[in-house]
Amino acid sequence: MSKRIYQEYPYLRSAAVTPKAVLRGEEEHAAAGVRYLKGCITVLSEDSLFFPEGGGQPCDLGYMGGLRLSDVKDDKKSGLIVHRLEEGELSFGEDRSLPCELDWQRRFDHMQMHCAEHIVSGTFLRLYGVENHGFHMGEDYMTIDMTPGEDSPVSEITDEMIRTVELRSNEIVWEDLPVRTVYYDTREEANSQPVRKQILFDEDISVVFIGTEEEPVDCCACCGTHVSSTGQIGLISIQKSENYKGMLRLTLKAGRPAVTEALREQQSVLRLCRRFSAEPPELEDKVAAYENKNGLIRKELYDLKKDILAEEAGRVAEAAMAASASEGRAKPFSVHEFPMLQAADLQDLAHLLDGRLSGLAVLVSGKTPDAVLVSGGDPACGSLVKDYAPIYQGKGGGNPKLARAIFKSREDLELFIDLIDKHLR
């Protein structure tokens, strides 16, 4: 098979490519059988410096003819590579070629990550018979979906296995083993190698070997770009594991993103160590002791608040009864201010008043312009809030016995309460 620039020279950062066609309008795209995207120029070429999206790896980015590249895809039907560029004037060379500049940091990140995926997948298979069923690469992370194979000696993937694979994968990095891509003309020839998965296609067969060809740490068909030796990966970090569609999904970072994440986590740990006056090995115990102490304090506060709310409920019930007796209203009405209580506390207080009121009580928070209405069901609290709160830019709702009204200002809340007072007279 003929190799393209990104395959034969993965470390090349600039090159010139001669286009087969440059498509701008809808008619030109239709004639070439390529989908038209508004705001994009499409360049078709047989060769490319840029890796097209494929095999779970995103495409390369950079500049082509001086214009920013937004997407690269391989059109299998035509055999051409489709480059999408921002609109503008292309800068051609004297030979009508287009100069290309690669976003090298993105390419190298992908090379590090993709090679790390091979190492982790190969190590899981060798140690535990666990197979890779899917791979996806994001901007700075990658995921692998795995399950034990039919001949695997294990029935599930444990945290201990993950940590063992992570350590062994990094040992392979430290060994700085060679990474080679070998191209084959037939699947029979490729499958004669110790490939991790049998190859089922017959065109563009490329197999990546990590280590020696006789005893590779991984051998797998792959169309992506890779570093030339494992030492260039730098670091492999398995960030987390989670169940996904009957498989275990691992999230990994490698290379620069892994180092960046490790440094960020290190700074977080150091800040926590300073906060808790602890060395890193002591940090978990210190945090656990802190959480236990906080739990006891929260329990004491809960019990104290419970007692206070019970006392306040009794006071509200007595005050409401006294107000109704003195005013002689058909539907007794009273307002009660609580400077230190939030609206959520007032709702708890309202529940304690259930069955203890003959009219309506309005519980007002001193923290926010909110109020909780509570009654025996007549008048209906929810209806009062629904009918009158919107008049003063309020909102809320509830049921006949309990409702909450929320306002933007204290003035609006007071006007709402005054309106209810007049309505119930």
* pLDDT tens string 104-155: 999 999 999 999 999 999 999 999 999 999 999 998 999 999 999 999 999 9
End residue of a domain, out of 102, 136, 157: 102
Q: Is 16 within 8 Å of 99 (Cβ atoms)?
A: yes
Asked if residue 304 is part of any domain, the answer here is no
Question: 64: buried, middle or exposed (CB in 10 Å: 19+, 13-18, 0-12)?
Answer: buried
pLDDT at 324: 61
CA distance 117 to 137: 9
Q: Clarify whether residues 261 and 318 are in a common domain.
A: no
Q: Clarify whether residues 114 and 98 are in a common domain.
A: no
Instruction: List the domain range (segments joined by +) for residue 350.
Output: 309-424
Q: Clarify whether residues 248 and 180 are in a common domain.
A: yes
In the sheet that holds 205-211, the strands lie side by side as: 179-184, 205-211, 216-221
Q: pLDDT below 70 — which residues of the chain?
A: 1-2, 323-330
The string of pLDDT tens digits covering residues 202-228 is 888 999 999 987 789 999 999 999 999
Q: Give me 94's structure tokens.
A: 């004297």
Asked if residue 38 is part of any domain, the answer here is yes
Q: Clarify whether residues 38 and 179 are in a common domain.
A: no
Q: Is 299 helix (H, G, I), strand (E, B) or coil?
A: helix
Q: Give me 191's structure tokens.
A: 């499958």
CA dihedral defined by 216, 221, 225, 227, rounded to 10 degrees?
0
End residue of a domain, out of 229, 252, 273: 273
- If one counts the domains in the chain, the total is 3
Asked if residue 200 is part of any domain, the answer here is yes
CA distance 99 to 184: 30
End residue of a domain, out of 50, 72, 102: 102
Angle at CA of residue 300, ends 297 and 302, nearest 5°: 110
* CA proximity to 393, closest of 409, 381, 380: 409
Q: What is the residue whose two structure tokens read 């996806």?
A: 136
Q: Clarify whether residues 149 and 67 are in a common domain.
A: no
Q: Clarify whether residues 181 and 203 are in a common domain.
A: yes
Q: Clarify whether residues 78 and 132 are in a common domain.
A: no
Q: Give me 299's structure tokens.
A: 């329990």
Contacts of 302 (CB under 8 A, 6+ apart): none
Q: Clarify whether residues 233 and 156 are in a common domain.
A: yes
Q: Clarify whether residues 81 and 122 are in a common domain.
A: no
Asked if residue 12 is part of any domain, the answer here is yes
Q: Clarify whether residues 84 and 127 are in a common domain.
A: no
Q: Give me 260's structure tokens.
A: 């960046």
Asked if residue 295 is part of any domain, the answer here is no
Helices (H), 177-330: 187-191, 255-276, 283-327
Q: What is the CATH number of the domain that holds 156?
A: 3.30.980.10
Q: What is the CATH number of the domain that holds 53?
A: 2.40.30.130
What is the residue type of 266? Q
Q: Clarify whether residues 130 and 222 are in a common domain.
A: yes
Asked if residue 355 is part of any domain, the answer here is yes
What is the residue type of 408? K
Q: Clarify whether residues 124 and 191 are in a common domain.
A: yes
pLDDT at 320: 76
